[in-house]
Amino acid sequence: MKVNRRELLRVVAIVAIAWVVLLLVLTKWQRSTRARQAAAEPELIHYPGTEDIEEQTSENLGFRKYWFHLDEAYPSLSVYHFYRNRLESSGWRPLTSGEPGWIRQSAKDKGYDICRAVWLSPDRLFQIEVEMKSEVDLLRRDGEVVDEDREPGIEVYITQRRSLHPAMMLQPTPREPRGGEIELPR
């Protein structure tokens, strides 16, 4: 069977045009999907005076982060109070109850006092983490800390990301017993 060269070129041209059209449609669909996702992402709130700090971002992961040095003495919680007031008034919920405390993490001659707080968005799809860190040089004698020299100020890291698994963040809903089931006391 002899294949007509003109017919073969016509088929190849039609397949190439169809491929280009398919790629254009997929590109347009992907852009509109990204635009919807970006519109659904909540605004990352900046601490007063840090609005001009550049953020680290990853669109695919829904990740935004920035950090700054706070010129306040340890154990300041002013950043935590700012975020608590702004987020909770907008419907964000804290992941834990109560005010967070500072926790010491030590390594050889260095120590870090760290305070963390996490809030979930009203739809539980995003979370904001506030982490504050104060560094101390530890002076040890005979294996015991006898003195410490604290670096001035506090390093603050603000991170907004998609929740790892929103279903894990949902509060359990009570389930009604189905026909034939017996509800046991808890």
Mean residue pLDDT of the chain comes to 84
| Reported confidence tier of residue 79, pLDDT bands at 50, 70, 90 | very high
Kindly report, residue by residue over 151-171, the tens digit of the pLDDT: 899 999 999 998 876 555 555
The DSSP line for 68-101 is EEE-S-TT--HHHHHHHHHHHTTT-EESSSS---
Tokens 């359990």 correspond to 172
User: Cβ-count burial of 127 within 10 angstroms (0-12 exposed, 13-18 middle, 19+ buried)?
Assistant: buried
Return the structure tokens found at 124. Answer: 């539980």
Using a 10 angstrom Cβ sphere, with 0-12 exposed, 13-18 middle and 19 or more buried, the burial of residue 131 is: middle
What is the C-alpha to C-alpha distance for residues 24 and 179, in angstroms, rounded to an integer? Answer: 53
> What does residue 103 show for φ and ψ, rounded to 5 degrees?
-120, 135
Read off the pLDDT of residues 20-52 as tens digits, 9 standing for 90 and up. Answer: 998 888 888 777 665 555 547 888 899 999 999
Strand partners, 138: 148
What are the backbone dihedrals phi and psi of residue 129, each rounded to the nearest 5 degrees, phi first?
A: -115, 130
> In the structure encoding, which two tokens stand for residue 171, read together?
């509060």
Spans of all domains in the chain? 1-40, 56-168
Answer for the pair 114, 133: CB distance below 8 angstroms, yes or no.
yes
Which residues have a Cβ under 8 Å from the Cβ of 105 and sit 6 or more positions away?
A: 111, 112, 113, 114
Helix/strand/coil for 161: strand
pTM (2 d.p.): 0.67
For 117-141, how does the pLDDT look when each residue is reduced to its tens digit (9 = 90+)? 999 998 888 999 999 999 998 888 8
3-state secondary structure of 25: helix
